[in-house]
Amino acid sequence: MSLDLEKQIASLSGDIAALHLTLDNIGAYVYIKDLQGCYTYVNKMVRDLFACPLEEIIGQNDSKFFSIAHSDELMVNDRLVMEHCQTVEAEEKNIIHSTGEIRYYWTVKKPLFDEQGQVSGMYGISTDITERKLLDIKLKENEKLLDTVLNNVDAYIYMKDRECRFRYINASTAKLFGVQPEDIIGKKGEDFLPPETAADFAILDNKLLATGEKVSGEESFSDGKGNTQYYWSTKVPIKDEQDEISSFIGFSNDITELIALKKNLEVKANTDELTQLANRRNFIDQAEKEFIRAKRYHLSLSLLAIDIDCFKEINDTYGHHVGDQVLREVARICAANLRGADCIGRMGGEEFSVLLPETSGEAAKIMAERLCQRIRDHQLAGPWKDKIKSTVSIGISEMQAEDDDIDDLLIRADKALYKAKQTGRDRVCS
């Protein structure tokens, strides 16, 4: 053998050794298979994975090392390469026979060709992504769990960025808005909500962005059909490493029934149950405010004290249930003949009061005379012998410069009412 040939062989042997060393330390699983799927080469990482020396691996197929029944994509991908001459880049899942360990890889497989250009086998390079894959699986499990909780909790939950664009909404919020969640991600409220609703939601959003603190308050949503829902919302900022708000999460609970109950209780607290007029407390509250306004702006103000004449006789003759009907009818007639700004209330028993803003004593007298006439002309029919006719006596007082509060008008109106009673009833006195 010539010296040059020996040098070439030595050089080639060195190159092969260097190649083996490189492949053994490349940080990936490198292997070659023949057309029967048997290994003809594996690097050190494959040998370590199978926990076998090279001679026990060469000539064996994957069924010796993997649970093929649970890793069928191995065989599928190999056939695509060797039978269809395709390059495959895909994720593969392996279950190691010797340990039962599940491993995940990102694999690239390509065909090998002989001198005639025919596929003679394949080579593959697989990178272990097990740790990343398990984290991804765990993350997806947690996301599924979180989605299950958020989509079934009895609350509207959503996330917005610092520009108030939606980043997330749960199923309840999507149903409320009448959209699919993916349809509004990246959008602001004004992009798909009625202007007044978007403006209402923006109040708490802007307060949170301005203060950087958690905020809570009442919000409302109208469906455009005249139906309004009310919510108690809490919004919590999420801050970045620079302590700047990057986004915020909102939690809203439907309080529509509570609001309706509250309003109903307020109405009951301020309304006379029998006549549906303002009760005494409510009337006095409104009268005090109107008195202050009239004083401040030097406006006229008058008050009527109304009492049903001979009401005890009606109760004694027909019974209290008929007396209640008379009270309701008198209240209805009075209310129907007042202006929108006027206020009427039942003060107790058969007595009513009417507050007449921006009304002089003379104008109040005309109003009082009209009420007397309307009630005098009305007859209450029912399952009794004769129709019931009622009359009222009315006392008038007009605000004076020296008056200190609404009580001064009430006292003078009561005195005028007493005068009307004493001088024959069914009349107006001041």
Residues annotated as part of the active site: 350
Rounded Cα distance, 61 and 57, in Å? 8
Residue 154 contacts by C-beta under 8 Å, 6 or more apart in sequence?
172, 253
Q: How many CB atoms lie within 10 A of CB 201?
A: 24
Burial 88-109 (b: 16+ CB within 10 A, else e): beeebbbbbeeeeeebbbbbeb
Q: What are phi and psi of 32, to 5 degrees?
A: -130, 140
Q: What is the dihedral of CA 362, 368, 370, 375, to 10 degrees?
A: -170
Extended beta strands in 4-118, E state: 29-34, 39-42, 88-95, 102-113
* Spatial CA neighbour of 235 closest among 220, 213, 266, 259: 213
Give the residue carrying structure tokens 């994957």: 62
Rg for the chain, CA atoms, rounded? 45
Strands in 215-222's sheet, in edge-to-edge order, are 166-169, 156-161, 245-254, 228-239, 215-222
Phi-psi region of 308 (alpha: psi -120 to 50; beta: other; left: phi over 0): beta
Give the residue carrying structure tokens 């909790």: 153
